[in-house]
Amino acid sequence: MPPNVGSYRDVPDFIYGITREIWEDRGIGGKLDRYYAPDILLRAPTGLTTSNIGVTAQTLQTLHQFPDRQLVGEDVIWADGGDGSFLSSHKLISVMRHTGDGSYGPASGRTIRSRIIADCWVVDCVVTEEWLVRDQAGFARCIGLEPKMLARQMVDHDLARGSTVEFFLPEHDRPGRYRPQIQAGPEVEFVMAGYQRLWQAKETAAVREMYFHGATLAVPGGEMAYGHADIDRFYLGYLASFPDAVLSIDSAIVNHDPGQPPRVALRWSLRGTHSGFGHFGPPTGADVFIMGMSHMFIVRGQVSQEWLLTDEVSIWKQIIAHVDSRAGS
């Protein structure tokens, strides 16, 4: 049974189209009622959302702060579920001005450009489960803050509301119906082996074998790494911070489309202890969970371009919450 995309032409057209209907066309609640399940499971580094009502509330609060928000879709990599359902991995750029007060502080008037990757499991034209990573470090720098400063501000906001500090951990999750898939194929095997060597074995020699010598890697904070030395520095910053991190690759899909190189989408995570001095400053002993998503182009057997997303503000929130709890004990 082919994927059910309603009146849309194909899966990418469906994903681009409903995103536009919800955000730019201001469908908001009405379109979310149509395209999102009432009991949707939306997992993001910021926390778990378990209802369409919660998604609508988050959408309205975002639009209050960024009323001219545009979501510029860059790519959709997808996999056919075989029963009319499909999994899509949507890479996009959020472009907007910060003109309303809210969770990012007083309106700054600044223009924000921040990357997002969203994986959606869609059943009968309804998003039933979603995994979403935003580059909140990029957000922070666009409004003149370092990610750690924005995390501190958000921790204080959570505590002022009388709630616990909000972030996602696997133990917060609820079981869903979607069963993740690792597609077969040489490109998927190649990038999974490279990630295992880098993140699990901490073998950064893999950078020179996995990446083309002129590869570009888009990394959190709205930054770019160019070539082997830059890419090596990025990985070392994370590995030094979490030297005992354990990698889990939760989803891997590949598309082969005419006129394009093979494109791979990965959803992955790291769990480890903030026990080293690296990208996240002096070690604190915090137990940290990192949700990651990546899109890659494979050319002549190597990664030529990659977009790698984590939410560094949510990582900092976990570290700050741990330090605060230790200070208060």
Instruction: With residue 97 as reference, give the H or E element that holds it.
Output: strand 86-97
- Show the CA angle centred on residue 297, arms to residues 89 and 249, nearest 5°: 55
CA distances from 244 to 18, 269, 275 (A): 40, 13, 8
202: its two tokens: 């901490």
Residue-range domains of the chain with CATH: 11-172 (3.10.450.50), 186-328 (3.10.450.50)
Digitized pLDDT (tens) for each residue of the chain, 329 residues in all? 889 999 999 999 999 999 999 988 888 888 889 999 999 999 999 999 999 999 989 888 898 999 999 999 999 999 999 999 999 999 999 999 999 998 888 999 999 999 999 999 999 999 999 999 999 999 999 999 999 999 999 999 999 988 789 999 999 999 999 998 899 999 999 999 999 999 999 999 999 999 999 999 999 999 999 999 999 999 999 999 999 999 999 999 999 999 999 999 999 999 999 999 999 999 999 999 999 999 999 999 999 999 999 999 999 999 999 999 988 64
* CA atoms of 118 and 120, how far apart (whole Å): 6
pTM: 0.96
- Count helices and strands (H / E) in the chain: 9, 12
The full DSSP string for 198-246 is IIIS--TTHHHHHEEEEEEEEETTTEEEEHHHHHHHHHHHHHHH-TT-E
**Token reading at 6:** 């309603």
Summarize pLDDT for 80-134 with one digit per residue, the tens. Answer: 999 999 999 999 999 999 999 988 889 999 999 999 999 999 999 999 999 999 9
CA angle 315, 67, 50 (to 5 degrees): 50
pLDDT in tens, 279-302: 999 999 999 999 999 999 999 999
Q: What is the DSSP letter of 196?
A: I
